[in-house]
Amino acid sequence: MATVELRQAESADECSNLSSLAVRRRPKRLGPFVYRDAAHAELPHVVSFSGGRSSAALTFMAAEEGLLDPGRGDVVLFANTSAEHPGTYEFAAECKRRLEAEFGLPFFWLEFTTVEDAWRGEYWRKLSYRLVKPVRIEDDPEGFRSSGELFEDLVSLQGMLPNVHSRTCTAKLKLYPSHLLLGEWLGGTDGPAHAGHYWSVSDDGSGGGVLLAPSALRTAMHGHAEPHHVNQ
């Protein structure tokens, strides 16, 4: 009797283990997005890509399920801090390549930067951004920085170190530059082309001169019209 009960218990445990394994192996899905207002479904969707595996999994799942649509103006942003692990840059570059090639999603790398501005003879520096290529600046002048230079620029701009009372790194290295880019991307403006924030149109080695603003990138990538070049 005890032997029968033991075998029944073992059989139940085996079924339970198989059931748990089936659940773990079941493909996970995000399912449809839930919007506060149905009209929001028609607005451009923005993915802030951190460079980590969870961020990548979320982005690829959304793309594979058709939740991201480049025709709607959806875009993926990676804000470089210049202090990421080398493997993070390699991973983010591969994600950019695949998302653009397989799903047609624009994937921008951007960096915090400062520019000089003037009014009535007075000059000052202000926060801005630059689009960068997924290669190191040591290999391409339009590439990304990876030796902490952005933190030095930030401290130089604000005249103080980030601290527990003023946590400016996330705000000024990621949020503000992303907001500026999105304002131009979604607003269809040429942006501050005089500052030279946009990498060249071609990679044929001919060098600078012709730059492409976010509004022109959007038009060119969607194929609605010929690219509009902004001369520096």
In this structure, which amino acid lies at residue 57?
Answer: A
pLDDT digits (tens, 9 = 90+) for 144-182: 999 999 988 888 888 888 777 777 888 888 988 999 888
Q: How many residues does the chain have?
A: 232
Cα 82 from Cα 1, distance rounded (Å): 69
Sheet containing strand 75-80, strands side by side: 46-48, 75-80, 107-119, 122-136, 143-144
The model's pLDDT over 6-60, given as tens digits with 9 standing for 90+, comes to: 455 455 555 555 454 444 555 678 888 889 999 999 999 999 999 999 999 999 9
Residues 6+ away with beta carbon under 8 Å from 183: 189
E-assigned strand segments in 94-201: 107-119, 122-136, 143-144
- Tokens for 168? 């400016």
Amino acid identity of 43? L
Domain boundaries, the chain: 33-231
| Global pTM exceeds 0.85 | no
